[in-house]
Amino acid sequence: MDRKAAQTLVENMLAGHRLSLARLISKVENRDSSLNLIMEQLYPHTGGAWILGITGPPGSGKSTLVDQMAAHFRKAGKKVAIVAVDPSSPFSGGAILGDRIRMQQHWNDPGVFIRSLGTRGKHGGLSHATKEVVLVLDSARFDVILVETAGVGQTELDILRLAQTVLVVLVPESGDSIQVMKAGLMEIADVFAVNKSDRPESDKLVRELISMVGLMDRPAGGWAVPVHKTEAIRDIGVSELLKALESHHHFLAESGAREWKASEFLKNEVMDILSERLGLRLQEAFETKAGQKLLKQLLGRRMDPYKAAAVFEKIKK
Ligand X SMILES: Nc1nc2c(ncn2[C@@H]2O[C@H](COP(=O)(O)OP(=O)(O)O)[C@@H](O)[C@H]2O)c(=O)[nH]1
CB environment 231-265: b (16+ within 10 A), e (fewer) = bbeebebbeebbebbeebbebbeeeeebeebeeee
**Among ligand X, Mg ion, none, what binds residue 249 when CB lies within 5 to 8 Å by partner kind?**
none
In this structure, which amino acid lies at residue 31? Answer: R
259 φ, ψ (degrees, to nearest 5): -70, -40
232 contacts ligand X (rule: CB under 6 A): yes
Burial 125-161, CB ≥16 within 10 A → b, else e: bbbbbbbbbbbbbbbbebebbbbbbbbeeeebbbbbb
Beta carbon nearer to Mg ion, 63 or 139:
63
Contact call for residue 63 and ligand X (CB under 6 A): yes
Q: CA 236 to CA 300: how far, in whole Å?
A: 65
Residues 62-101 that bind Mg ion (CB under 5 A): 62-63
Site for ligand X in 64-103 (CB under 6 A): 64
| Residue 116 or 177 having the CB closest to Mg ion | 116
User: Would you count residue 197 as binding Mg ion (CB under 5 A)?
Assistant: no
Judged by CB under 6 A, does residue 209 bind ligand X?
no
Least separation in angstroms between CB 102 and ligand X: 7
Total of chain residues touching ligand X, rule CB under 6 A: 14
* Beta-carbon count within 10 A of 58 CB: 12
Q: Using the rule CB under 6 A, give the single segment among 53-61, 103-111, 117-125, 309-317 that binds ligand X.
A: 53-61
CA distance 283 to 156: 25
- For the CB of residue 169, give the shortest distance to Mg ion in the complex, in Å: 10
Q: Of Mg ion, ligand X, none, which one sits near residue 231, judging by CB under 5 to 8 A according to partner kind? A: ligand X
Binding of Mg ion at residue 230 (CB under 5 A)? Answer: no
Q: Which is nearer to Mg ion, 6 or 147 (CB)?
A: 147
b vs e for 174-198, b when ≥16 Cβ sit within 10 Å of the residue's Cβ?
beebeebeebebbebbbbbbbbbbe
7, 59, 258, 268: residue in contact with ligand X (rule CB under 6 A): 59
138 binds, among Mg ion, ligand X, none (CB under 5 to 8 A by kind): none
- Could you give the CA distance from residue 117 to residue 27 in angstroms, rounded to a whole number? 13
Q: Is 149 in the site for Mg ion (CB under 5 A)?
A: no
Which residues are near Mg ion by CB under 5 A?
62-63
Which residues are near ligand X by CB under 6 A?
56, 58-64, 195-196, 198, 231-233
